Amino acid sequence: MKIAVVGTGYVGLVSGTCFAETGNKVTCIDIDQRKVTKLSNGEITIYEPGLEKIFLRNLHEGRLKFTTNLAEGVKDAAIIFLALPTPPGADGSADLKYVLGVANDLGKIMTDYKVIVDKSTVPVGTAAKVHAAIAANYSGEFDVVSNPEFLREGVAVDDFMKPDRVVVGVNSDRARKLMSDLYAPYVRQGNPVIFMDEKSAELTKYAANSFLATKISFMNEIAQLCERLGADVDMVRRGIGSDDRIGKRFLFPGIGYGGSCFPKDVQALIMSAEEVGYDFQILKAVEDVNEAQKLHLIPKIKAYFNGDLKGKHFALWGLAFKPNTDDIREAPALYLIDALTEAGATVTAYDPEAMPNVKGVIGDKITYVDNHYAALDNADALIVATEWAEFRTPDFEVIETKLSTKVIFDGRNLFDKNQMKELGYHYESIGRP
């Protein structure tokens, strides 16, 4: 099948590459000439485990190509995916200017039947708006479908190639057949393609991410309570996670969630509710808890140093909002950096993938090094902000020789608290006495 993907950001590039992997001919379109040139030359523009290998294979075998020309890119496509940014506006609602702008342009260049698919995370009612934008300039037959992505950064290729479900919002038998044929290779093991109306599909994406964010904030609240009551959040987590009604996933406390999805989608769902006169109180609390949790380590750090961080130097392990990605959007580490430097401290940081992105945002506000042990030199304490695998079992004897004092503030509960005590470290984590 011939497919066009408009937008070569995270979702667009993963989707286009994975569609090509099953034999489809895919053209990805982006207005950024520099990015298109890089991609056309085999230079991948995002970090995602496993993506580069299949990207290069499909590029070299001619199933995947890139262009800045929208008309050329969609001309022969049966299905056009819109994988465009929907950034939050000043009030937190999703800004649809990119989605509707492309829809308007499509209406001017389409000449035959096509299925236009919203792959972006969009508010309820967007499919109807996209349909209207196209119909304003095109009187022929076409369908608009909602097909939200459920990709997790760090495992996105597996999520796409072996989805636990595919959600498709569609009101046309013709479009349903095309979407069913397209996804057939990905659900051969029996996982469902769930067909529904467009509004329900649009809400499903927001509901899923908001529910997961709620689990994270709930466990961070439990961790706060554990610290005050002397309970151990790890034991509580194991106790409740063994209940299959709750499940084990998304129960790990830490210093809050970040990334491109959870913060934006929680905000957008709150605003969608307000637009129809509903006060989504739970999600407002989820958002408030998460904002506070990003800085949960700061009072602990200040208390240890008697309230004065001026002149103190900290090693920071991890900058990405989670491991196996270079994404720093809403990353808790950035909030910690701001708080520490505003208090007069200095920071040396290491992250396996995210340092170029951080440097592009904050420049030389901190020092960057090429391995996690180098970050420790003469630091007054180590702060762990991202749970990269290489941080999980470090050589604590090396850490001891490099730190000026044996102090660790662990925002991801990576280390065994009893081992830390035996080794003589002052060790503080989240929700553990």
- The owner of tokens 């499909």 is 58
Q: Is 261 one of the catalytic residues?
A: yes
CA atoms of 59 and 148, how far apart (whole Å): 25
3-state secondary structure of 141: coil
- Tokens for 237, please give them: 């987590």
With CA atoms as reference, report the closest residue to 219 among 286, 282, 297, 295.
Answer: 286
Identify the CA nearest to 294 among candidates 248, 334, 266: 334
Say if CB 304 and CB 407 are below 8 A apart.
yes
For the record, the structure tokens of 224 come out as 């706060």
- Report the chain's C-alpha Rg in angstroms: 24
Under a CB-based contact definition with an 8 Å cutoff, are residues 300 and 409 in contact? yes
Which residues lie closer than 8 Å to 286 by C-beta, 6 or more apart? 210, 213, 214, 217, 266
Neighbour-count burial for 8-40, b at 16+ CB within 10 Å, e otherwise: bbbbbbbbbbbbbbeebbbbbbbeeeebbeebe
Judged on CB neighbours under 10 Å (0-12, 13-18, 19+), 126 is: buried
State how beta strands 313-317 and 193-196 pair: unpaired
Record the tokens describing residue 69, joined without a space: 């020309």
- DSSP secondary-structure letter at 102? H
Kindly state the greatest CA–CA separation across the chain. 74
Active site residue ranges? 261
